[in-house]
Amino acid sequence: MHPINQTVVTEFILQGFPASAELQKSLFVPILFIYFLTIVGNILIIVIVVHDPHLHNPMYFFLGNFSVLEVFYVTTLSPQMLAHFLAEEKSICFHCCISQAFFHFFLGATEFCLLASMSFDRYIAICKPLHYSVIMSYRLCLQLALGSWLGGLFTVVVQTVLLCQLPFCGPNRINHFYCDVTPLLGLVCANTYLLDQMVLVGSVLLLFSTFLLTAISYGFIIFTIMHISSSSGRQKAFSTCVAHLTVVSIQYGTVMFMYVKPNSNSSLEINKTVSVLNTIVTPLLNPFIYTLRNKDVKEALKKMACTKGKNASLHVIK
């Protein structure tokens, strides 16, 4: 790989979905609605966690971080996609494309680190409940959260710097609906073997290490739950993990399918379909997954709604 001083390609063309212009325009409203619900749902979780003192504990601290990440993640991709649904020429500037690829990879990597931190929190809560408040101190929570964000950053920053130095001097059509690293590397006018291997190894190491930590945590959790004598106690303990376990299954399943496999033209087409689940649907589902079965969040939401209602009534009376 030899860096060059001048980049010939100044913009990329995103080919998007293999659908007619009319069909893509018809997707604008439902995707916009999903984007709106995703933003509102995750911001609502952030507001509830900050507003209610009863939710000022490690579990909801990490959930708040996760919701912040989801807002950034979906905003990295959805506005560009929505604009291209209505545009005749689906172009994106060179630096915008590199930035989108960086933030997509960075936020995705951070997400897995946060999921591992959340699984550690659930392990301490279920396996060591008497020492939970001591072990999961505010300082440790900050360290785990900061470590997750920095871990995601360090995973992608070197690859991004190297990608920026590669020559793009020929084709500029990306076979995707956003700037992803894999199709971008296919447009480089140089040998990308080293960077291909770095991306693959980095992805595998990240997925394997975070998955291993999550699996170990849940191994101890399942072992502890199985030794709880009462069925109600087992059900209560397991219910605190259902939401997190659901999100973990979706995230690892989709990302492992997309990235940890050989590249081919057919696999890139399949990736576009699977990416819709990972980049659009999953961020929408997260607020519902974490709140529908969560009594604490629902109670906090009711209290906040009642408080706002009372304040509005008092304002009208005055």
Picking from 64, 167, 198, the residue whose alpha carbon sits closest to that of residue 118 is: 64
CB neighbours of residue 44 within 10 Å: 16
Q: Which helix (H) or strand (E) holds 312?
A: helix 295-317
User: Tell me, what DSSP letter sits at residue 277?
Assistant: I
Task: Examine residue 127 and state whether it is found in any structural domain, yes or no.
Answer: yes
pLDDT, residue 121, reads 95
Burial of 5 (0-12, 13-18, 19+ CB in 10 A): exposed
Q: How far apart are CA 234 and CA 209, in angstroms?
A: 28
3-state secondary structure of 271: helix
* Torsion, Cα of 246, 251, 256, 258 (10° steps): 130
Q: Which residue has the tokens 């304040």?
A: 311
Determine if residue 195 is left, alpha or beta; phi over 0 gives left, psi from -120 to 50 gives alpha, anything else beta: alpha
CB of 199 within 8 A of CB of 223?
Answer: no
CA-based Rg of the chain, rounded to a whole angstrom? Answer: 22
Q: How far apart are CA 17 and CA 42, in angstroms?
A: 27
pLDDT, residue 52, reads 86
Retrieve residue 122's tokens.
């659930």
Q: Render 50-100 in DSSP notation, one character per residue.
A: HH-GGG-SHHHHHHHHHHHHHHHHHHHHHHHHHHHHH-SS-EEEHHHHHHH
What are the average pLDDT values for consecutive 10-residue runs of the chain, which has 318 residues?
58 79 82 94 91 89 94 94 86 92 94 95 93 94 96 92 86 86 86 89 90 95 88 82 86 74 59 77 83 74 71 53
Which residue range forms the structural domain that includes residue 264?
A: 11-305
Determine if residue 16 is left, alpha or beta; phi over 0 gives left, psi from -120 to 50 gives alpha, anything else beta: left
Task: Examine residue 6 and state whether it is found in any structural domain, yes or no.
Answer: no
Reported pTM: 0.87
What CATH number is attached to the domain comprising 296? 1.20.1070.10
Task: Examine residue 248 and state whether it is found in any structural domain, yes or no.
Answer: yes
CB neighbours of residue 231 within 10 Å: 8
pLDDT, residue 4, reads 46
Task: Examine residue 123 and state whether it is found in any structural domain, yes or no.
Answer: yes
- What's the number of domains the chain is made of? 1
Q: 58-86 vs 138-164: helix axis angle to the nearest 10?
A: 30
3-state secondary structure of 41: helix
Q: How far apart are CA 71 and CA 173, in angstroms?
A: 28
CB of 105 within 8 A of CB of 182?
Answer: no
CB of 97 within 8 A of CB of 80?
Answer: no
Task: Examine residue 62 and state whether it is found in any structural domain, yes or no.
Answer: yes
pLDDT, residue 102, reads 95
Task: Examine residue 53 and state whether it is found in any structural domain, yes or no.
Answer: yes
Task: Examine residue 44 and state whether it is found in any structural domain, yes or no.
Answer: yes
Task: Examine residue 103 and state whether it is found in any structural domain, yes or no.
Answer: yes
